[in-house]
Amino acid sequence: MRRVVADTNVYVSALNFSGTADEVLALGRAGLIEIYVSAAILDEITGVLARKFSWSAPRIREAKQAIANFTSRVRPTQPVHVIHEDEADNRILECALAAGADTIVTGDHHLIRLRRFLGIRIMTPRQFLDAQAGR
């Protein structure tokens, strides 16, 4: 089974707009892939939902619980400093290392341009869905 780390933008997009990002998370909810998350990613998700989308605290708590229901939490221990333009992107890489992930799914151009990180594939939600369908 694929071990996946979804970037913050995948969760935020799925929660606000549905579409391909939600299709990726639906694979996790269905138990077809394993999705891993860290405290740093959850903190970033909640911050973005509050700041950019004006979500209420109860709604954010519900979203965090929903995410917890279909993800596995890891505690990264290996610091990464690969993305200099946006330090927060390194938290995604750290989570992927801690999870032993084979894929990172993201819409972030800083991560996408890496294409791979220590053997971990980095794909957009569309690329990931297309790869899943092609199996």
Inter-axis angle of helices 57-70 and 19-29, to 10 degrees?
A: 50
* Confidence band, pLDDT 50/70/90 cuts, at residue 12: very high
The Cα angle at residue 132 between residues 41 and 128, in degrees rounded to 5 = 40
* Confidence band, pLDDT 50/70/90 cuts, at residue 129: very high
Helix (H) or strand (E) holding 37, with range, is strand 34-37
Q: Identify the pLDDT of residue 135.
A: 58
Q: Is 10 helix (H, G, I), strand (E, B) or coil?
A: helix
Closest CA to 25 of 56, 65, 67, 60: 67
What pLDDT digit, counting tens, does each position of 46-83 carry? 999 999 999 999 999 999 999 999 999 999 999 999 99
Strands 3-6 and 34-37: parallel
* Confidence band, pLDDT 50/70/90 cuts, at residue 133: confident
The backbone region for 62, taken as left when phi is positive above 0, alpha when psi lies in -120 to 50, beta otherwise, is alpha
Identify the DSSP state of 116: E
CATH architecture of residue range(s) 3-133? 3-Layer(aba) Sandwich (3.40)
What pLDDT digit, counting tens, does each position of 37-54 carry? 999 999 999 999 999 999
